[in-house]
């Protein structure tokens, strides 16, 4: 993010006062949108920047260039510009945008803009905030992307009251503006309004450039340029070189682009010293300039002096921002100079871009660095830089750049380079990983196995070993996500001996995947120390992915084992480590909290689990995670389990549908498959035929399976068998699960199978045997604190709990389980749909509402109906400041800080009655 693009340009030393144009801009500000459209050099930027600097209200600025003609980059910069007003603005939209960028090439721009517009509405209506925002987008003509135009049309259509957007552009933007014109919400300022008049031309030429031209000379230049400000300035610079500007010099100035190019050459460029000429030429290769960048790129040590001289001589160099550290050439001058540079000094062009790219890399502008080399078509250097930057980018969660860069390289270069193929695979959006990764891995393997791979490893056998190991490890990950555990095991065994000792990245990846392999095979006793080793390795080497991903599996493992205290301790420990090492902004920084949802659910803390699920949904937006990611898929599954325990079937249906639409549908995280989860939902809703249809299709496979990954599906099948009266197959199935789960530490699975067996025996009337099984389940469960394992089995299990109390079997534990059941009533406790300040009990809300005055209750009524502050003031015939005063009093009495919090707090109450 280049911050200087967000600064309103400073006033030029030769700026002309334009009161009439300022009046036009001020009048336009009463509308939602102004379009300042004229060819290059009409002073659009200067006029709008000058007007904005004079405003007392909140203003924002965004300078666009050709690189911004890409939706993610465009909207990122637009949000960042708004955040120069207040850092809290556009945070939700930015987070959602980032999350889309991480996982997919396309995104729902309307969803991003809805968040942005709502954020702007809340900001403008809040207390102690400006009532107006003026936002200028300069050089919008660089934007050609149709999706950006469509999104801008959406933004302009729904722009909130108090917001005014100014588009400065050389061409009419391809945005549908007809409705805005018809509604009188659009003002357009074009060349006629921007052209200099005689007084402005006289001020420019004689006052600023001190040419002492006669009125006839000024009038002639004005006529020749048709009031084009840049043309007048170019003419003035040329005439400054003459102590006595002649009439012929003025008369001969003409205004076609070819003539302008000739003019720039003969009357501006050639008038400079050789030293200035060469600096101008070299500077044209760079889109932006600063002294240290120029020193590095040009191989000199006096760039600061030269830039100062260009500014002083007004040679069309524009300062970016208040600090005057960054500059750019006027576009026309740069285009003219660049054409000449490439023609005159072709041998210098490529080395200069290389040095500039190195400077950008060293100063942590990776995208600009690689972009320069790609622009220069210096493919070998670009590839080397991409490979060099890749580890750091992956570590900080910016791996999407790898795929972007590879897509901008010639396809044959990528397809013939195994390193690039692997980097492109790492950078793929998650929605495309399962689709494209196998092809990329296969091609990389073919290149490594061939006798002469191109541009790959410099024939270093250790490099080839490392590449093979990386291919095998990535293949193992794909095998894991498609539940091909034998293939995963084989690939890990092939990778391990090939990993160089010094390769920390591959070593950490192997430790993590090997630990996950043992987890997915159900050997939790072996998995735990291996997962802990992976976490410790990640901490030692600051390998964030290792720490976070391994921790997710460790928490899940501890939950299955019933070690809830240890699971919570691990979660707290890593959270502290993440904060201590400044990793809280990493895309996966808070994903370990996702696994705590199951921890809470197993203890039947369902409301807390539901709130955490929604909190994780919000965290996913800010952590670059979105709907088609494996993280979101896992979250949907865990939330769905919580919803089933809540008996919130409609919401659970939504989660199941989301999982069915995910490219990660095969991935179960060791839990139930998506199809089995749907069968469980159908069974709980009384749709028994649908559940049995799944059971008929899967029973042959599940009855023969001894895989850990099938256990949850088998337990669902057992429940369906019990309901259909297939008692013996149900008992056999449960006995097999218990026998496999117990020695491998899967306490929760063993207890669950014992509970279902006890219920079957009770159904058969074999009460003594049922209570014996149930007592065994209670005894094992009590040591760990399982609750939902019992309550999820319904009323029949409640009956056994009461029988156990009557018979003195773990009676204290049974009573605690029943108390937990009473603490959550699915018929009265709302399913969390929002991250919220919890809704207070109805009597507390009523007590707080009673503190409000009649006028405050009246205003609160309008808030509940969605009225804006302005509409409230107009409806009640009171000033806007009075409305804000009343709102401050309302927030204080309700003990909230915003309109949103107030509405959430009273959401359980009916519309407030005015009394």
Query: pLDDT digits over 446-472, tens only?
Result: 888 885 544 444 555 567 888 999 999
Angle between helix axes 727-741 and 711-723 (nearest 10 degrees) is: 160
Angle between helix axes 109-125 and 146-157 (nearest 10 degrees) is: 30
pLDDT at 427: 79
pLDDT at 912: 43
pLDDT tens, position by position, 717-731? 999 999 999 999 999
pLDDT at 221: 77
pLDDT at 620: 61
pLDDT at 245: 64
First to last CA, the chain: 54
More confident position, 122 or 263: 122
Residue range 59-65: average pLDDT? 95
Q: Considering only CA atoms, which of 797, 843, 803 is closest in space to residue 820?
A: 797
More confident position, 201 or 427: 201
Is the per-residue pLDDT at 906 higher than 70?
Answer: no
Look up residue 437 and give its two tokens. Answer: 């990764």
Angle between helix axes 291-298 and 274-283 (nearest 10 degrees) is: 100
* CA dist., res. 284 & res. 279, Å (int): 9
Out of 304-308, 334-338, 392-396, 660-664, which region has the weakest mean confidence (pLDDT)?
392-396
- Helix then strand count (H, E) for the chain reads 48, 7
pLDDT at 77: 95
* CA dist., res. 770 & res. 759, Å (int): 7
CA 310-313-318 angle, to 5 degrees, is: 55
- Residue 299 has phi, psi (to 5 degrees) of 70, 35
Q: Considering only CA atoms, which of 148, 168, 172 is closest in space to residue 73?
A: 148
268-272, 636-640, 801-805 — most confident range: 801-805
Asked if 869 and 856 count as a contact pair (C-beta separation under 8 A), the reply is no
pLDDT at 74: 94
Out of 222-231, 395-404, 776-785, which region has the weakest mean confidence (pLDDT)?
222-231
pLDDT tens, position by position, 634-678? 888 888 999 999 999 998 998 899 888 888 777 776 788 999 999
* CA dist., res. 18 & res. 6, Å (int): 24
pLDDT tens, position by position, 566-579? 888 888 887 788 77
Out of 561-565, 696-700, 753-757, 905-909, which region has the weakest mean confidence (pLDDT)?
905-909
Residue range 142-156: average pLDDT? 91
pLDDT at 453: 47
pLDDT tens, position by position, 598-626? 888 898 888 888 877 777 766 665 444 55
Is the per-residue pLDDT at 271 higher than 50?
Answer: yes
| Average pLDDT over all residues of the chain | 83
pLDDT tens, position by position, 203-259? 888 888 888 788 888 887 777 666 778 778 877 877 776 666 666 666 655 433 354
pLDDT tens, position by position, 480-533? 888 888 999 999 999 999 998 888 989 999 999 999 999 998 888 899 999 999
Q: How confident is the model at residue 868 (pLDDT cuts 50, 70, 90)?
A: low
Distant-in-sequence, close-in-space partners of 414: CB < 8 Å, separation ≥ 6: 406, 420, 421, 424
Is the per-residue pLDDT at 131 higher than 90?
Answer: no
Reported CATH class of domain 842-905: mainly alpha
pLDDT at 848: 64
pLDDT at 623: 45
| Cα R_g (the chain), whole angstroms | 34
Asked if 161 and 124 count as a contact pair (C-beta separation under 8 A), the reply is yes
- Residue 114, exposed/middle/buried by CB under 10 A (0-12, 13-18, 19+)? middle
pLDDT at 471: 92
Q: How confident is the model at residue 905 (pLDDT cuts 50, 70, 90)?
A: low
pLDDT tens, position by position, 824-833? 555 545 554 4
Half-sphere exposure of 577 (CA within 13 A, CB side): 20
Asked if 26 and 51 count as a contact pair (C-beta separation under 8 A), the reply is yes
pLDDT at 612: 79
pLDDT at 624: 46
Q: Parallel, antiparallel, or unpaired for β 326-329 and 317-320?
A: antiparallel
pLDDT at 224: 66
200-209, 406-415, 454-463, 802-811 — most confident range: 802-811
For 506, the enclosing helix (H) or strand (E) is helix 504-520
Mark residue 31 as left, alpha or beta (left: phi above 0; alpha: psi -120 to 50; beta: remaining).
Answer: beta
pLDDT at 174: 82
Residue range 395-413: average pLDDT? 83
pLDDT at 254: 42
Out of 39-53, 595-609, 740-754, 892-906, which region has the weakest mean confidence (pLDDT)?
892-906
Is the per-residue pLDDT at 277 higher than 50?
Answer: yes
210-219, 339-348, 379-388, 771-780 — most confident range: 771-780
Domain 467-589 has CATH 1.10.3720.10: no
Q: How confident is the model at residue 837 (pLDDT cuts 50, 70, 90)?
A: very low
Coil/strand/helix, residue 164: strand
CATH ID of 3-194, from 3.30.450.20, 3.40.50.1860, 3.40.50.300, 3.40.50.720: 3.40.50.300
- Residue 57, exposed/middle/buried by CB under 10 A (0-12, 13-18, 19+)? middle
Distant-in-sequence, close-in-space partners of 653: CB < 8 Å, separation ≥ 6: 681
């Amino acid at each position: 993010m280049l911050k200087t693009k967000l600064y309103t340009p400073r006033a030029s030393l030769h700026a002309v006062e334009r009161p009439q144009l300022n009046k036009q801009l001020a009048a336009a500000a009463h509308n939602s949108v102004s379009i300042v459209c004229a060819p290059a050099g009409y002073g659009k930027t200067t006029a709008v920047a000058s007007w904005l600097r004079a405003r007392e209200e909140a203003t924002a600025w965004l300078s666009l260039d050709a690189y911004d003609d890409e939706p993610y980059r465009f909207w990122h910069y637009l949000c960042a510009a708004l955040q120069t007003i207040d850092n809290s603005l556009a945070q939700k939209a930015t987070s959602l945008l980032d999350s889309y960028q991480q996982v997919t090439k396309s995104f729902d721009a309307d969803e991003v803009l809805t968040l942005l517009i709502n954020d702007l509405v809340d900001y403008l209506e809040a207390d102690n905030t400006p009532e107006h925002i003026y936002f200028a987008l300069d050089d919008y003509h660089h934007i050609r992307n149709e999706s950006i135009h469509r999104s801008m049309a959406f933004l302009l259509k729904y722009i909130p009251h108090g917001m005014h957007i100014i588009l400065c552009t050389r061409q009419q933007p391809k945005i549908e503006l007809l409705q805005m014109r018809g509604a009188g919400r659009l003002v357009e300022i074009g060349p006629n309004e921007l052209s200099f008049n005689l007084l402005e031309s006289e001020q420019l030429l004689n006052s600023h450039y001190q040419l002492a031209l006669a009125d006839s000379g000024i009038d002639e230049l004005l006529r020749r340029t048709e009031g084009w400000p840049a043309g007048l300035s170019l003419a003035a610079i040329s005439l400054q070189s003459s102590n006595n500007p002649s009439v012929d010099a003025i008369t001969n100035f003409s205004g076609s682009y070819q003539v302008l190019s000739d003019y720039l050459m003969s009357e501006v460029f050639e008038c400079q010293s050789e030293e200035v000429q060469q600096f101008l030429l070299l500077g044209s290769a760079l889109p932006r300039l600063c002294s240290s960048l120029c020193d590095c790129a040009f191989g000199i040590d006096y760039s600061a002096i030269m830039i100062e001289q260009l500014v002083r001589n007004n040679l069309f160099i524009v300062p970016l921002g208040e600090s005057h550290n960054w500059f750019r050439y006027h576009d026309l001058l740069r285009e003219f100079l660049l054409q000449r540079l490439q023609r005159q000094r072709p041998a210098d062009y490529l080395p200069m871009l290389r040095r500039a790219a190195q400077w950008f890399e060293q100063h942590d502008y990776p995208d600009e660095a690689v972009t320069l080399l790609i622009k220069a078509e210096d493919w070998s250097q670009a590839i080397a830089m991409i490979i060099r930057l890749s580890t750091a980018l992956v570590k900080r969660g910016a791996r999407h750049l790898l795929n972007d860069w590879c897509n901008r390289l010639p396809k044959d270069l990528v397809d013939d380079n195994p390193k690039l193929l692997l980097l492109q695979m790492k950078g793929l959006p998650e929605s495309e990983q399962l689709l494209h990764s196998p092809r990329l891995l296969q091609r990389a393997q073919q290149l490594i196995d061939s006798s002469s791979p191109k541009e790959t490893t410099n024939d270093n056998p250790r490099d080839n070993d490392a590449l093979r190991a990386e291919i095998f490890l990535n293949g193992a990950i794909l095998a894991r996500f498609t539940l091909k555990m034998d293939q995963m095991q084989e690939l890990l065994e092939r990778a391990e001996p090939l990993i160089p000792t010094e390769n920390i990245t591959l070593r950490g990846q192997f430790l993590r995947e090997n630990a996950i392999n043992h987890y997915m095979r159900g050997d939790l006793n072996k998995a735990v120390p291996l997962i802990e080793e992976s976490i410790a390795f990640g901490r030692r080497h600051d390998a964030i992915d290792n720490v976070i991903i391994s921790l997710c599996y460790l928490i899940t493992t501890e939950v299955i084992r019933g070690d809830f205290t240890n699971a919570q301790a691990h979660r707290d420990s890593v959270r502290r480590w993440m904060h201590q090492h400044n990793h809280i902004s990493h895309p996966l920084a808070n994903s370990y909290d996702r696994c705590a949802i199951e921890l809470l659910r197993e203890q039947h803390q369902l409301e807390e689990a539901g709130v955490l699920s929604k909190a994780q949904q919000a965290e996913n937006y800010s952590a670059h995670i979105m709907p088609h990611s494996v993280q979101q898929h896992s979250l949907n599954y865990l939330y769905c389990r919580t919803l089933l325990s809540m008996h919130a079937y409609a919401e659970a249906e939504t989660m199941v549908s989301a999982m069915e639409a995910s490219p990660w549908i095969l991935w179960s995280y060791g839990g139930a498959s998506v199809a089995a989860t749907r069968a469980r939902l159908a069974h709980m809703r009384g749709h028994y035929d649908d559940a049995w249809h799944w059971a008929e299709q899967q029973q042959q496979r599940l009855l023969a399976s001894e895989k850990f990954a099938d256990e949850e599906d088998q337990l669902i099948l057992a429940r369906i068998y019990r309901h259909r009266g297939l008692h013996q197959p149900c008992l056999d199935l449960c006995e097999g699960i218990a026998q496999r789960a117990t020695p491998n530490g899967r306490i929760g699975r063993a207890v669950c199978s014992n509970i279902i067996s006890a219920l079957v025996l009770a159904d058969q009337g074999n009460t003594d045997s049922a209570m014996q099984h149930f007592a065994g389940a209670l005894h094992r469960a009590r040591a760990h604190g399982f609750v939902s394992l019992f309550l999820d089995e319904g009323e029949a299990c409640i009956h056994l709990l009461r029988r156990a109390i009557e018979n003195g079997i773990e009676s204290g534990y049974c009573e605690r389980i029943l108390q937990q059941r009473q603490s959550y009533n699915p018929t009265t406790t709302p399913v969390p749909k929002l991250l919220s300040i919890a809704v207070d009990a109805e009597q507390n809300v009523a007590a707080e509402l009673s503190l409000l005055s009649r006028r405050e209750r009246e205003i609160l009524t309008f808030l509940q109906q969605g009225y804006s502050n302005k509409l409230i003031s107009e409806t009640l015939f009171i000033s806007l400041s009075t409305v804000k005063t009343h709102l401050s009093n309302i927030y204080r009495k309700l003990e909230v800080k915003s309109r949103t919090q107030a509405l959430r707090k009273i959401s359980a109450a009916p519309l407030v009655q005015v009394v």
